[in-house]
Structure 1
Amino acid sequence: MPQPAAPPSPSVTVPGAIERLVDVPGGRIHLIEQGTGPLVLLVHGFPETSYSWRHQLPVLAEAGYRAAAVDVRGYGRSFAPAPVEAYRMTALVADNVAVLHALGERTATVVGHDWGSSIAANSALLRPDLFTAAAFLSVPYSPWSPVRPTDGFARIGGDEEFYVSYFQQPGRAEAEIEPDVRGWLAGFYTSLSAGTMPPPDQGSPFFVPAGARMRDRFARGPLPSWLTEAGLDVYSAEFERTGLTGALNRYRNVDRDWEDLAAWNGAVLTQPSLFIGGALDSSTTWLADAVAAYPTTLPGLVSSHILEGCGHWIQQERATEVGALLTEWLHTVHA
């Protein structure tokens, strides 16, 4: 059964929401919950926490839904197992299933952003009996591919190293990030936001030249408009406390995921679905072919939206618009 969390710092609390710890296999997941009605499970990406859904929680609650934003294992106040393989996709899907059951619900709509989008997609794919609708923000749904992920990532970038490959070596990215967590997060958030992205002649932060650091190409300037100093404090305090290893271990499991999920080669998602991407978000533009394939891969797609002038942090950059799109879609799903 859900248990109250240890008292959080006031800065993490979302007004009107309840914080809980719920039991899952091997540990506990922390979540922020608001509202009553059909359950909507909100899953964040890298490097964020449940706090990234702070704008949508009250909107969904007001619209008649029970919105629950989790800290994915390895993040925030959720448990962080030591083995790298504990962060494989099947374990994260199992966490979502356990959260649903712990909250006393039989089914849920699952909504994810960034890595959370992939977690949402696989939750719907592996347990369609429980996750009866799914929404994907920034990262489009793409079925299993016969190309081993690490092999594919290694071919991207030519003489420079693609950021996923950079993240895959245990301890390497931690050595760059953890001496200055707040500064690194500020640079990463700023570099992927509309209006504060680095100029093209500075080079993409997604590619790392030999001997360089990822942060060497981060934008240098003020925070994006969606991120206050207080908000940055919330994120940085959580990662200062937990470190980045749990979050980065998601990247270190992509080949395990590929092996685990091979039986779903070419699988389509038939549940009612929604996609929202940012026109300036590389996660969306790189996977434009996946969006174009939606008539085949997402036969239950209700609507797809590309927000002009929007970067990667979509539910924070365009909080009002995303809240409205989610609510409109949910009303269709639950009509």
Structure 2
Amino acid sequence: MPQPARTTPVATPLPDAAHRTVEVPGGRIHLVEQGTGPLVLMVHGFPESWYSWRHQIPALAAAGYRAVAIDVRGYGRSSAPRDVADYRMLAHVADNVGVLRALGEESAVIVGHDWGAPIAANTALLRPDLFTAVALLSVPYTPRGDVRPTDAFARLGGGEEFYVSYFQEPGRAEAEIEPDVRGWLAGFYAGLSGDAASSSGEGGFPLSTVPPGGRLSDRFPDAAPAGWLTEADLDFYAGEFERTGLTGGLNRYRNVDRDWADLAAWHGAPLTRPALFIGGEHDAPTTWMADAIKAFPVTLPALSGAHLLDGCGHWVQQERPTEVNALLLDWLQSLPA
């Protein structure tokens, strides 16, 4: 069972931003927005929240954009359906369309990190009439392929269990995480940080597999998260997940085969909208998916640039906010009006 929320008060972040909850066909989506101008919709990954864009929201707003970061369904104050199938990719795409319409906008640029990257990519793929450009952080675009995803992930584990496979069974990962949400999050964030990966010499791989009969946290580093994650930041994340639990976020992983079936009509389809990719040198997906990056001339024909940040880990927009903001703004300002 999820732990009760921490009683330690956490200061309200981004006091100049506004919180709203909007109705979408699948329920409600909580969002945080600041600024006026063309809409930039930001979609977070696992295990994060709108808060993972705390460095980008004010920067984009100051540059003349309407910066909006959502809590993905299952997170924060957004709806958390009970059915695992309600977290399929098509539902996330529909949520993004619903947010766009609820905000009274006709189009948006969409930006995604971690699981938010494939959500953003598929949103632009399925609704290019509404989403005019897409920026992907950490996870490169990969068109639907021939191999069922759970089969592919099983192969990646080798003699151990790949973490995506470990997340498949409802309740299994929750039983590991929820007795100590804050401690687990601290270890997970630290383990995928650039400093941890570079010091380990394993290029971001320590948290990719689970030993037989073990837990993912068995591979967590002893060191605390690097300076990019303060105690107040960790308190905010922990407070969110102690209240909601982790099932909503984990259910995204539990739909990979369902997504593969749903997206059969887009098998091998390139993403033709203007695109940007930003990854970290020590970000595991940039290694596992190196072939996807090499395929960008075919899969992302309108790509403006693919950037790997030296020494950076998985949490690119939090670890390197100044660099990411500069890359995003340069790209946004290059897009057709």
Specify the TM-score bucket, using the shorter chain as the normaliser.
over 0.9
Task: Tell me the TM-score normalized by structure 2.
Answer: 0.95
Q: Could you tell me which residue of structure 2 aligns to residue 6 of structure 1?
A: none
**Alpha-carbon separation, structure 1, partners of 2:29 and 2:234:** 22
Letter in 1 for 2:193: S
**Alpha-carbon separation, structure 2, partners of 1:97 and 1:188:** 31
Q: Could you tell me which residue of structure 2 aligns to residue 4 of structure 1?
A: none
Q: Could you tell me which residue of structure 2 aligns to residue 306 of structure 1?
A: 308
Show structure 1 runs of 4+ deviating over 6 A: none
Alignment of 1:199-214 (within 5 A): 199-200=200-201, 204-214=206-216
Letter in 1 for 2:187: G
Change (3 A) 1:16 1:254: same
Deviation string, structure 1 residues 22-50 (Cα, Å, up to 9, x no partner): 00113110000010000000000000000
Q: Could you tell me which residue of structure 2 aligns to residue 13 of structure 1?
A: 13
Change (3 A) 1:258 1:12: farther
**Alpha-carbon separation, structure 2, partners of 1:15 and 1:303:** 33
| DSSP-derived class of the 1:276 partner | strand
Displacement after TM superposition at 1:10 (Å): 5.7
CA contact (8 A) 2:205 2:284 kept: no
Q: Does 1:268 align with 2:270?
A: yes
| DSSP-derived class of the 1:211 partner | coil
**Alpha-carbon separation, structure 2, partners of 1:46 and 1:203:** 17
Change (3 A) 1:203 1:306: closer
Displacement after TM superposition at 1:12 (Å): 4.5
Q: Could you tell me which residue of structure 1 aligns to residue 4 of structure 2?
A: none
Q: Could you tell me which residue of structure 1 aligns to residue 259 of structure 2?
A: 257
Displacement after TM superposition at 1:204 (Å): 1.9
Q: Which runs of 5+ in 2 are unaligned?
A: 1-8
| DSSP-derived class of the 2:125 partner | helix
**Alpha-carbon separation, structure 2, partners of 1:271 and 1:69:** 21
CA contact (8 A) 1:12 1:234 kept: no
**Alpha-carbon separation, structure 1, partners of 2:105 and 2:31:** 15
Q: Could you tell me which residue of structure 1 aligns to residue 5 of structure 2?
A: none
CA contact (8 A) 1:18 1:33 kept: yes
Alignment of 1:1-335 (within 5 A): 11-197=11-197, 199-200=200-201, 204-335=206-337
| DSSP-derived class of the 1:14 partner | coil
**Alpha-carbon separation, structure 2, partners of 1:195 and 1:109:** 31
**Alpha-carbon separation, structure 1, partners of 2:88 and 2:104:** 25
CA contact (8 A) 2:33 2:68 kept: yes
Displacement after TM superposition at 1:206 (Å): 1.2
CA contact (8 A) 1:39 1:68 kept: yes
| DSSP-derived class of the 2:196 partner | coil
Task: Tell me the TM-score normalized by structure 1.
Answer: 0.95
CA contact (8 A) 2:283 2:312 kept: yes
| DSSP-derived class of the 1:19 partner | strand
| DSSP-derived class of the 1:183 partner | helix
Displacement after TM superposition at 1:195 (Å): 1.2
Letter in 1 for 2:245: G
- After superposition, the CA RMSD in angstroms is 1.4
Change (3 A) 1:132 1:113: same
Shifted more, 108-117 versus 197-206: the winner is 197-206
Letter in 2 for 1:262: A
**Percent of aligned pairs sharing the same letter:** 67
| DSSP-derived class of the 2:158 partner | coil
**Alpha-carbon separation, structure 2, partners of 1:211 and 1:162:** 13
**Alpha-carbon separation, structure 2, partners of 1:51 and 1:203:** 25
Displacement after TM superposition at 1:273 (Å): 0.5
| DSSP-derived class of the 2:235 partner | helix
Letter in 1 for 2:123: S
**Alpha-carbon separation, structure 1, partners of 2:26 and 2:273:** 29
Change (3 A) 1:168 1:58: same
Displacement after TM superposition at 1:222 (Å): 2.3
